[in-house]
A and B are shown apart, each in its own frame.
Chain A
Amino acid sequence: MNYKKRHFGSYGGRYIPEVLYPAFEELEEAYFRLKDDPDFIAELIYLQKHYIGRPTPLYFAENLTSDLGGAKLYFKMEGLAHTGAHKINNAVGQALLAKKMGKKRLIAETGAGQHGLATAAAAAKMGLECDVFMGEVDMARQHPNVLGMGVFGARVIPVTDGSRTLTDAVNAALKNWTERVSDTHYLLGSALGPHPYPAMVRDFQSVIGEEVKKDILEIEGRLPDKLIACVGGGSNSIGLFNTFLNDDVELIGVEAGGEGPDTQKHAIRMSGNGRIGIVQAYKSYFLQDDNGSLKTTHSISAGLDYAGIGPELAHLADEGRIKFTHAIDSEVLDAVKMTARREGILPALESAHALAEAFKQAPKLSGDSIIVVNISGRGDKDLFITGPYFDGKNWKAFLQNEIKRLSGETS
């Protein structure tokens, strides 16, 4: 086993400050030893089944398929996983690994708060201490998740540096790890960062694609024509795609188009102007300025609002194996509405990017073709963003009444 392989083509690598060298050596050694250990695998499978709620269904979206009049649409329902998104697959995997390594404490970065929430839950389950680093700006706009993490017993540590968002939270978590490597595991949330994270997170998320493959063969007797997933850092997409890399299946990643590719407010790296760089200790495509500093990104979905992308996805894009496209905020909101209205499923805004692309493609395909869309998370968490869009007047009145009610109680 060549676990020293730390690159995907020329991407990836491990561009870490020297202080972190022993921590990464220890993590790399432990992960590649335990990932094939029968006891570790058995424990992970137990947790996947009884704690996460796996396997998640592969659902035939009959109404939308008939509305769109083309390809058959299947949804992989990752939103039904515990804590509401695929993030828990990786959090539980790494938390178990940390426990086996004898670590007492987990730290994590979070943007929207979904990864933080999953990590906090996994820490509670495993009896580990948990500190989550979160940009002050993100904390202000994602308060329900801040609250949730606290309920799970995690400390949410506000990051006040730089732009005070996800990228700064990553930096803060890395720095905190340099100060406390002996008892702490850094539970990175996406398939990016320095080696071995991209490989490790991919492996923990690959259960998504493995289940899809098994189910679609059972239901349809053949592989799908296209797989579509949204891409922020890339953990749900690589988790879906990994098992299909050598199959004759088209793989499509959908990035956050934000307010549009011609504005400065988006997170389009692969299907836009991203350039190769070395940032946050890995080499990949980044949205950056001429001087190599990251640009601020925008998306209606906080989970896709990030300037970098996993190095394996960058490599697979260069090879032509994955095609990238994007969906803009308004298309995404329409996709949420359509899916909720016609299938009774409320997808996360992130996942709705993939749905928006599927809705564009399905009508162009014949009725015997198959598209699988990863609904990586459910949309309950987005109510504070989607509420004003779906029912602005009543939502505002509700919030105002809540404030009145709470003031009445506390005054």
Chain B
Amino acid sequence: MTGITRLEKLFKDTPGVKLMTHVVGGFPDIQTSKKLIIEMANSGSDIIEVQLPFSDPIADGPVILAANYTALKNDVRTSDVLSMLEEVRKEIETPLLVMSYMNPLFAYGFEKFFDKMVSIGLDGVIIPDSPPEEKDDDPAALCDERDLAYVPLIAPTIGDKRIGQVAAVSKSPFVYAVLRLGVTGKATNLEDDLLDYIDTIRKLSGKYVAAGFGIKDKSQLEKLKGHADCGVIGSAVIRLINKSIEEKHDPVKAVGEYIRELTS
């Protein structure tokens, strides 16, 4: 069981706010990113998104951008990340998403890439620069055909009408709500209006909602209860990895402890 089916089952069967964590493939190096994913799964992450390193990640903040840059300097290729995920999939059952900008997928070939994802047993994609208007390279349709979840991104700046349109672009059981203006990695106050906004998305999309951008601690995750179905943690993990490396600690162990703390 993979793809849309696996994710649907996760949201249906697991109670409470689930946790999605983020890794840049090849950061800090390809082997450590593999260990991080497995450790995340074993520590309680319900979904893991793995980003393909790219030179121009226009929706990411400085922390994730720097991680992309490190991976590229290590000469990590799209095929390296896929091989790593192939190995990971043999060890864990946790849903795995690929987060990528359009161009790494375009360069690889959308169909070829999605076929590869299916053959490895990966579950879906998040593409931040793929608005529904651009139909030339229609990754949403290509994912639907393959039972892969094409997870739409929804921002607080867009109106109600568009929320419905964006959510309906694919058969993904959930959408990804961007909780604040701007880019990943700055603190979010989960004010009431943001929670209202999550409720609105849930109502208008008729889908499960993962809420992300700026979440870092357990209290923030708890506030999502009754509103979002999943909290997403991105930059906070990369900051922790950077700090561990700086202090000469094992980043894998530190990330495991952090996630256990969040999910305890």
Contacts and interface: CB of A to CB of B under 8 A. Distances in A.
Contacts of B156: 19
Contact of A21 (B65, B104, B155): B155
A171 interface: yes
Contact of B103 (A20, A22, A175, A278): A278
Contacts of B56: 162, 167, 171, 279-280, 293-294
A17 B107 contact: no
A292 B105 CA distance: 8
A24 B205 CA distance: 23
B137 interface: yes
Contact of B129 (A281, A290, A291): A281
A319 interface: no
A294 B55 contact: yes
A14 interface: yes
Interface string B50-82: 001111111101100110010010000110000
Contacts of B154: 18
A21 B55 contact: no
Interface stretch (B31-39, B90-98, B178-186): B178-186
Contacts of A277: 103, 106-107
Given A21-B162, A278-B103, A290 B77 contact: yes
A303 B228 CA distance: 47
B106 A19 contact: no
B181 A19 contact: yes
A248 to B, nearest CB: 32
A251 B91 CA distance: 59
B130 interface: yes
Given A18-B158, A294-B55, 7 more contacts: A14-B131, A15-B130, A21-B155, A171-B58, A281-B129, A291-B77, A293-B55
Interface in A268-300: 275-281, 283, 286, 288, 290-294
Nearest to B59: A17
B42 to A, nearest CB: 30
A10 to B, nearest CB: 6
A281 B182 CA distance: 16
Contact of B107 (A6, A175, A290): A290
A288 B134 contact: no
A175 B183 contact: yes
A92 interface: no
A278 B58 contact: no
B134 A293 contact: no
Nearest to B80: A291
B69 A162 contact: yes
Interface of B: 52-59, 61-62, 65-66, 69, 72, 77-78, 101-108, 128-131, 133-134, 136-137, 153-159, 162, 166, 178, 181-183
B102 A278 contact: yes
A19 B104 contact: no
A347 to B, nearest CB: 31
Contacts of A19: 59, 155-157, 178, 181-182
Interface in A167-204: 167, 171, 174-175, 178-179, 181
B135 to A, nearest CB: 10
Contacts of A10: 136
Nearest to A13: B134
Given A174-B58, A292-B103, A17 B157 contact: no
A178 B134 contact: no
B222 to A, nearest CB: 26
Nearest to B66: A161
Given A18-B131, A178-B182, A292 B58 contact: no
Contacts of A181: 157, 181
Nearest to A7: B136
B153 A18 contact: yes
A316 interface: no
Contact of B158 (A15, A21, A280): A21
Nearest to B157: A22
Q: Which has the most chain B C-beta neighbours within 10 Å: A22, A161, A278?
A: A278
A124 interface: no
Q: Which 5 A-B pairs have the closest CB atoms?
A: A292-B107, A293-B55, A292-B103, A179-B182, A19-B155
